[in-house]
């Protein structure tokens, strides 16, 4: 018997197969729940429920202001349960309780509130124009797309669920959400909040299970109009292929290998904090982590010395303690990946500056195999360790001599998701930022994401944007309505009128 269920057409149900899978607390290795394991059949039921809710239900036909009321209620419920949800999030995914309480839970409530504002205030009719000849009125409308599938990764399960459900339902769509198998539990809490807020049956559906079956069904089923995916670039390519079968809209938020550029006029103290935060927040398991630090040669030695000293002071331990900076990675296999990349880097000629293995001396009861030390490698940008996404606490530091060279190295990547510039000269920092081919650049800051600003990738980091009005509009179609106001029977197929309209 599963501890969790699927949510289909407003009901919590067992998967058709009755199968389950285990989810573990990575900090201790302890099994914490038996999760309902959906199969393709369950995914199809969820899609059909969403289709019915969209085609026949009240949701897409309500006013934006009415829908906004439900989203705000869900945000209130989330906030009222912040301690409980934060603990679920931290235990299941291994992130620190600080991250859950200060980023994940308020971030998700903030996203619901932001998209409620969009539903209320962003116009459905964007333009009206009158044409004198041929006499006509034009209206450009925005309308919901239909059934949206949301497929999310394990690194920020709660907030990612809000970034999929929030804009989709605010804009009047129906959704099927699938979390990653490592981290199903906090998404259950989000769906409960949406249910309790009174969102009608079928508008939000939820299936837990493997990507290879449930995820693939969501990405290819003909009744799905849009797939919003966050995850690895490799799976993103597969999603694009599957979605092409019925030419679905896709938004993809994929991997990264972002550059954090320290200019020679930077406040070094601030930049050291920023580079450590940019890399080691959540153990580097963040898509836009600044895992390549490019440091001007004139300050390089001093800067790397400061990085090592401060990295050594980071507290590694129980992720449920407020004292902890770094908890476990999501699983022992993710820590193995970090270890494998460190070895690969050393084989390629990189130099280990600090860290590089499992930490010693963890408190009794903690599973050392899921932990990894904050690690710094001196590397060359051509090395695999500097080109491939590791998704662990591994920072590559590199030297450069001019702003142009820094930009060139930063852009020498298949990815383009985030990036940073550290400088005391705002004009110079903006000039460097403008030349970086990446979706977000922070100047003298890192990881700052707000619901109101767009987030997404250049190059192989993705397609489309989440958040902001840009992200909201990714869940809306554009319709042009041309209305003939002449009353003249002669106008139809009238080439003079067509020619005037076209020119
Ligand atoms: P993943 O690509 O392995 O899995 C992501 C989701 O896709 C999971 O729900 C998984 O079950 C599902 N999935 C797997 N195979 C599938 C398939 N064939 N068809 C359909 N769905 C499938 O990623 P992950 O390991 O969960 O997360 C880490 C990755 O996510 C990193 O690459 C990271 O950069 C990326 N990420 C990107 C962003 C962003 O906004 N750009 C944010 C967070 C994470």
Task: Give the model's pLDDT for residue 480.
Answer: 96
Ligand 1, atom 39, residue with closest C-alpha: 253
For ligand 1, atom 43, the nearest C-alpha belongs to 287
Write down the architecture of domain 6-15+34-254+461-481 according to CATH.
3-Layer(aba) Sandwich (3.40)
Q: Which atom in ligand 1 lies closest to the alpha carbon of residue 466?
A: 40
Q: What is the CB < 6 Å shell around ligand 1?
A: 151-156, 178-181, 211-212, 215-216, 219, 230-232, 235, 238-239, 253-256, 287, 389, 391, 417, 457, 462
pTM of the model: 0.96
Query: Domain 259-443 carries which CATH code?
Result: 3.40.309.10
Residue from 296, 370, 365 nearest 326 by CA: 370
Q: 288 catalytic, yes or no?
A: no
| Torsional class of 234: left (φ above 0), alpha (ψ -120 to 50), beta (otherwise) | alpha
Q: What is the position in ligand 1's atom list of the atom closest to the CA of 182?
A: 26
Query: How far apart are the C-alpha atoms of 50 and 417, rounded to whole Å?
Result: 32
Residue nearest to atom 42 of ligand 1 (CA): 287
How is the chain split into domains, by residue range? 6-15+34-254+461-481, 259-443
Q: Would you state the pLDDT for residue 495? A: 77
| Catalytic site includes residue 287 | yes
Three-class SS of residue 398? strand
Ligand 1 mean position to 82 CA, how many Å? 25
Handedness of CA 103, 109, 115, 121 (dihedral sign): negative
Structure tokens at 167: 């804009």
- Mutate which of 211, 245, 331, 336 for ligand 1 pocket (most atoms within 8 A of beta carbon): 211
Q: What is the pLDDT along the chain (503 residues), one digit of tens a residue?
A: 679 999 999 999 999 999 999 999 999 999 999 999 999 999 999 999 999 999 999 999 999 999 999 999 999 999 999 999 999 999 999 999 999 999 999 999 999 999 999 999 999 998 888 887 788 899 999 999 999 999 999 999 999 999 999 999 999 999 999 999 999 999 999 999 999 999 999 999 999 999 999 999 999 999 999 999 999 999 999 999 999 999 999 999 999 999 999 999 999 999 999 999 999 999 999 999 999 999 999 999 999 999 999 999 999 999 999 999 999 999 999 999 999 999 999 999 999 999 999 999 999 999 999 999 999 999 999 999 999 999 999 999 999 999 999 999 999 999 999 999 999 999 999 999 999 999 999 999 999 999 999 999 999 999 999 999 999 999 999 999 999 888 777 655 567 777 878 88
CA of 271 to the centre of ligand 1 (A): 30
């Amino acid at each position: 018997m599963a501890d969790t269920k699927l949510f289909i057409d407003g009901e919590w149900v067992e998967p058709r197969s009755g199968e389950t899978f285990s989810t573990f607390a990575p900090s201790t290795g302890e099994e914490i729940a038996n999760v309902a394991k959906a199969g393709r059949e369950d995914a199809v039921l969820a899609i059909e429920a969403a289709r019915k809710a969209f085609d026949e239900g009240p949701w897409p036909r309500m006013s934006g202001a009415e829908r906004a009321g439900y989203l705000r209620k869900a945000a209130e419920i989330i906030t009222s349960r912040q301690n409980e949800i934060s603990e679920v999030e931290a235990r299941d995914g291994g992130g620190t309780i600080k991250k859950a309480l200060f980023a994940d839970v308020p971030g998700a409530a903030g996203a619901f509130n932001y998209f409620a504002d969009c539903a209320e205030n962003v116009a459905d009719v964007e333009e009206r124009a009158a044409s004198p000849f041929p006499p006509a009125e034009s209206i450009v409308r925005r309308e919901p797309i239909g059934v949206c599938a949301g497929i999310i990764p394990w690194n920020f399960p709660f907030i990612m669920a809000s970034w999929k459900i929030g804009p989709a339902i605010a804009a009047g769509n129906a959704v099927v959400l699938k979390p990653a198998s490592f981290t199903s539990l906090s998404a259950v809490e989000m769906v409960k909040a949406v249910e309790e807020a009174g969102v009608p049956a079928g508008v939000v559906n939820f299936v837990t299970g493997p990507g290879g079956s449930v995820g693939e069904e969501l990405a290819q089923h003909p009744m799905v109009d849009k797939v919003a995916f966050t995850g690895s670039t490799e799976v993103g390519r597969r999603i694009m292929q599957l979605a092409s079968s019925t030419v679905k809209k896709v938004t993809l938020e994929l991997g990264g290998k972002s550059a954090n550029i320290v200019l020679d006029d930077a406040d070094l103290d601030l930049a050291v904090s920023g580079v450590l935060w940019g890399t080691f927040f959540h153990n580097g398991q963040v898509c836009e982590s600044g895992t390549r630090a490019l440091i001007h040669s004139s300050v390089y030695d001093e800067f790397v010395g400061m990085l090592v000293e401060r990295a050594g002071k980071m507290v590694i331990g129980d992720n449920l303690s407020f004292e902890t900076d770094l908890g476990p990675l999501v699983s022992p296999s993710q820590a193995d990946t970090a270890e494998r990349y460190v070895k690969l880097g050393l084989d390629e000629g990189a130099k280990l500056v600090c860290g590089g293995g499992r930490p010693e001396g963890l408190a009794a009861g903690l599973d050392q195999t899921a932990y990894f030390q904050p690690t710094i490698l001196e590397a060359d940008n051509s090395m695999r360790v500097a080109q491939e996404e590791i998704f662990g606490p591994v920072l590559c530091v590199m030297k450069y001599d001019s702003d142009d060279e820094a930009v060139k190295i930063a852009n020498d990547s298949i990815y383009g998701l985030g990036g940073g510039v550290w400088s005391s000269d705002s004009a110079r920092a903006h000039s460097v930022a403008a030349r970086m081919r990446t979706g977000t650049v922070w100047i003298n800051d890192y990881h700052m994401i707000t619901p109101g600003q767009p987030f997404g990738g250049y190059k192989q980091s993705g397609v489309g944007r989440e958040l902001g009005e840009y992200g909201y509009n990714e869940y809306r179609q554009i319709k042009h309505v041309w209305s003939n106001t002449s009353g003249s029977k002669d106008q139809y197929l009238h080439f003079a009128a067509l020619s005037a309209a076209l020119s």
